[in-house]
A and B are shown apart, each in its own frame.
Chain A
């Protein structure tokens, strides 16, 4: 539930490194790695927790991270944010143009998908599924479930960090307000609609959740209304989906 923190850490890591002049590829990858390190840090206390408390802990973690973004002004400029983040220039390709940037993002997304697909279909992935289905059984078969859970957290943090760095270079400006818990809601919605533990589900759900509110734009709502209407749309959809179809559309398990 605190996943937005990794997104934010990646974004800030990229921004700070890029503004200090490091080459883009270094910034991008470091963003992922730094996020993963924080994932590791979070994994330590949460290894033994379950269910509600795990969710609350990671939620609390995201609050702490947000507070740091807001207050550690020497590093993050606090609520003023970091403007002027450069678009990446990798191996001589300049991704400043939107079309070029889109291709970078698509490439990264495809690579991430492929990687995660390989991981989930590997013995490691099967062990993870076993842990999810019945942790006690998995443990009795000799799997170190705490380590498995930590690893999955670290890996997912890595990708969130990469996403954060892309976000930072796309908007070229970041400030702490993009990384509050409220911003997690669309992501949560995507995961639930697509169905937990399903990659194709995530893909379709993302398309749906991101594109649908854009239709409202064409309906001609004034911009002050657009923001809250979008939030209401997300919140209502989340509630309806949880109520009527907790499995989502492709999910393997019910939201337990």
Chain B
């Protein structure tokens, strides 16, 4: 007997976990750097392809491939900040310009993936049979349990990082007020780099898990960014816990939504939510009202 409610709940949590992974890294970068790093999706897409290349094409041991992929993600994030965003910042570019250039960067990264690997869908056939376990009438696979556990673990780690470590506090300081933070001796540039590295590491983890659970295709970055971004907006884009909350909410609403609507509308639900929140509550659920001037 399938318990539909529980199944949808579980699906919602799994989807939410994936979106939250995307949203948390992105939100960390946004709150520190104060602009929308759309190319985050490109980091995810390229990391997924790197994993595919290392694991399926070269045939490296899977865990080694995972390790190297995460290093790649971190490095790519760092490079993007240093060689792409930093010059723009030096020119005192406004957030709008950074947004547009970030979107262009996303397209650039995804096109590179398309060029190098082709448009067909790739899969990591590492888990031969992924039979689900039945709990109270709903089915969940071991991989999905891993996804949820890994994300929760990461979020707790992120929380610990932000609240207790020196780097975390420095990041929050720069997020709050960059000028004052610099007066206090914090190098904003170094913090920017760290935010990109950490955010991109989370992106790498997201890429790995998504590649295992679903598949790899060149536009996966854009799709995930839209969902992650929507989650971040819903929960409050300047706040990392908010982004995580919003992402989980999005996952749940999406999955419960298709109880009533045809399943093709799943993505539309996300877009409508994004639109609605931008309209009525742009600061999100946990966000603080922010005057977008200055």
Least CB distance, A69 to chain B, in whole angstroms: 10
A64 touches B271 (CB 8 A): yes
A52-B96, A232-B112, A232-B115 in contact; A67/B268 too (CB < 8 A)?
yes
- A-B interface contact total, Cβ < 8 Å: 102
Q: Mark A221-256, 1 if CB is under 8 A from B, else 0.
A: 000110111011011101100110010000000011
A232 touches B265 (CB 8 A): no
Q: Mark B52-70, 1 if CB is under 8 A from A, else 0.
A: 0000000000000000000
Q: Which of B146-183 contact A (CB under 8 A)?
A: none
With an 8 Å Cβ cutoff, the count of chain B residues facing the other chain is 39
- Residues of chain A within 8 A (CB-CB) of B282 are 53
> Does A37 count as interface, using CB distance less than 8 angstroms?
no
- Residues of chain A within 8 A (CB-CB) of B114 are 227-228, 231
B264 touches A70 (CB 8 A): yes
> Does A55 count as interface, using CB distance less than 8 angstroms?
yes
A71 touches B118 (CB 8 A): no
Q: Which of A174-222 contact B (CB under 8 A)?
A: 181-182, 185, 188
- Residues of chain A within 8 A (CB-CB) of B262 are 71
> Does B99 count as interface, using CB distance less than 8 angstroms?
yes
Give the nearest-CB partner of B35 in chain A.
A52
> Does A45 count as interface, using CB distance less than 8 angstroms?
yes
Q: Mark B68-83, 1 if CB is under 8 A from A, else 0.
A: 0000000000000000
Least CB distance, A62 to chain B, in whole angstroms: 9
Least CB distance, A256 to chain B, in whole angstroms: 6
A71 touches B265 (CB 8 A): yes
Distance between Cα atoms of A64 and B269 in the complex (Å): 9
Chain B residues touching A, majority SS? helix
Of the four ranges (under 10, 10 to 19, 20 to 34, 35 or more), the interface on chain A belongs to 35 or more
A51-B292, A52-B95 in contact; A63/B271 too (CB < 8 A)?
yes
Instruction: Pick the interface stretch among B20-28, B103-111, B202-210, B247-255.
Output: B103-111
> Which residue in B101, B115, B222 is a CB contact (below 8 Å) of A238?
B101
Q: Which of A42-82 contact B (CB under 8 A)?
A: 45, 50-53, 55-57, 60-61, 63-64, 67-68, 70-71, 78
Distance between Cα atoms of A51 and B293 in the complex (Å): 9
Least CB distance, A211 to chain B, in whole angstroms: 20
Least CB distance, B109 to chain A, in whole angstroms: 9
> Does B87 count as interface, using CB distance less than 8 angstroms?
yes
B111 touches A231 (CB 8 A): yes
B88 touches A243 (CB 8 A): yes
B268 touches A52 (CB 8 A): no
Q: List 8 A-B contacts (CB under 8 A).
A: A60-B271, A64-B268, A228-B115, A231-B111, A235-B105, A236-B108, A243-B101, A256-B96
Please give the residue numbers on chain B whose beta carbons come within 8 Å of chain A beta carbons, in ascending order: 36, 87-88, 91, 93-97, 99-101, 103-105, 107-108, 110-112, 114-115, 118-119, 222, 226, 262, 264-265, 267-268, 271-272, 274-275, 278-279, 282, 292
**5 tightest A-B contacts by CB?**
A67-B268, A235-B108, A231-B111, A63-B271, A228-B115
